[in-house]
């Protein structure tokens, strides 16, 4: 008499693989969606944090801090803050005496800027510049309000608008022209 050896039959193995394939096919789009949402939220958080740090440094040093949002011809984006009275070149390492972001473009996690920044006097050179007054903590020129729009990598194109008001308060909102709006920003929409 033969002993029955434990194991899987070919049919059991094929059914298991088919179930795993169906589960993976359902999970991959959800993971891609999560990754895109996470990238744009992370980039937005970095923008708000950078601005808050620049504002704190202006008050702490009792000096005006000039913040620059820059976009080069290749689409790379950086932020720089300095006390020199002019916009520093945040694409050059250690050119800004207060702060720079990012240390590498990979820190954006694939998020990109849509259009040009509108902070400060707007033009077509890809720069947005505003100065924070250390005494009041407001923008030195109330007309320098503005910000930038960031977009997630990939097909979903989630967008967040980083905006600074005349009191130098940063906030994030979902532009009304965004292809898809993040669920936690559905009540915080703004003009593109």
Domain annotation covers residue 6: no
DSSP 89-127: -TTSTT--SSEEE-SSGGGGTT-EEES---SSS--SSSE
Structurally, the chain folds into a number of domains equal to 1
CATH number at residue 167: 3.55.40.10
| Rounded distance between C-alpha atoms, residue 162 and residue 56, angstroms | 18
Domain annotation covers residue 5: no
Three-state DSSP state, 128: strand
Domain annotation covers residue 2: no
Residue 133: CB atoms within 10 A of its CB come to: 16
Predicted local confidence at residue 125, as pLDDT: 65
**pTM for the full predicted model:** 0.82
Q: Could you tell me the residue range of the domain that residue 79 belongs to?
A: 12-190
Domain annotation covers residue 103: yes
Predicted local confidence at residue 43, as pLDDT: 93
Q: For the chain, 192 residues long, give each residue's pLDDT as a single digit of tens.
A: 666 667 778 898 899 999 999 988 888 888 888 889 999 999 999 999 999 999 999 999 999 999 999 888 888 899 999 999 888 888 888 899 999 999 888 889 899 998 888 888 765 567 889 999 999 889 999 889 999 999 998 888 899 999 999 999 999 999 988 888 888 888 888 877
């Amino acid at each position: 008499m033969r002993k029955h050896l434990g194991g899987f039959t070919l049919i059991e193995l094929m059914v298991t693989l088919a179930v795993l394939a169906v589960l993976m096919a359902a999970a991959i789009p959800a993971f891609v969606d999560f990754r895109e949402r996470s990238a744009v939220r992370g980039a937005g958080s970095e923008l708000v944090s950078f601005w808050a740090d620049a504002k704190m440094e202006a008050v702490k040093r009792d000096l005006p801090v000039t913040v620059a949002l820059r976009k080069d011809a290749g689409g790379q984006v950086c932020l720089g803050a300095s006390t020199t009275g002019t916009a520093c070149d945040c694409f050059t390492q250690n050119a800004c005496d207060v702060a720079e972001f990012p240390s590498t473009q990979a820190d954006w996690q694939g998020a990109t800027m849509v259009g040009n920044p509108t902070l400060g006097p707007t033009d077509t050179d890809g720069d947005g510049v505003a100065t924070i007054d250390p005494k009041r903590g407001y923008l030195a020129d109330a007309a320098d309000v503005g910000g930038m729009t960031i977009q997630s990598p990939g097909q979903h194109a989630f967008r967040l608008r980083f905006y600074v008001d005349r009191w130098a308060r940063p906030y994030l909102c979902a532009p009304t022209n965004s292809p898809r709006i993040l669920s936690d920003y559905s009540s915080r929409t703004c003009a593109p």
